[in-house]
Amino acid sequence: MAGERADAFPDVPTLAEVGVDWRLGAWRGVAGPAGMPDEVVDTLVPVLERIHAMDEFRDFMEGRGFGMIFLGPDDYRQFMADSNEALGGVMKDLGLAQ
């Protein structure tokens, strides 16, 4: 359901290629409580970014067909808001939410 074919599955077409206008993928994230002190965020974010860049982590994820991007706190917050809105719309359209 990605915008382009996954390298791990080159023969599997995207939904767009078969006429379906929909994108969705698995994602993993790390979040903390609202109001987390800046010094904690400023310590954790660079550590998570270094882990994301490690060959061992990247090889593990890519070997299982997972794409990867790293989003800092502001971009991740926006991603979550956009995802919530999009998935909420689908749930409403299907009658699973009001």
pLDDT number for residue 26: 80
Domains identified in the chain, total number: 1
Q: Could you tell me if residue 53 is inside a domain?
A: yes
Note whether 5 and 13 are within 8 A (CB).
Answer: yes
d(CA 54, CA 77): 24
Q: Could you tell me if residue 83 is inside a domain?
A: yes
Q: Could you tell me if residue 40 is inside a domain?
A: yes
Q: Could you tell me if residue 61 is inside a domain?
A: yes
89 is written with which tokens? 């719309």
Overall pTM surpassing 0.75 (yes/no): no
Whether 6 shows a pLDDT value over 90: the answer reads no
Q: Could you tell me if residue 70 is inside a domain?
A: yes
Domain housing 45: 32-93
Whether 91 shows a pLDDT value over 90: the answer reads no
Q: Could you tell me if residue 50 is inside a domain?
A: yes
Note whether 5 and 18 are within 8 A (CB).
Answer: no
Q: Could you tell me if residue 76 is inside a domain?
A: yes
Q: What is the pLDDT of residues 50-85, one digit of tens each?
A: 999 999 999 999 888 888 899 999 999 999 999 888
pLDDT number for residue 52: 96
Q: Could you tell me if residue 67 is inside a domain?
A: yes
pLDDT number for residue 24: 80
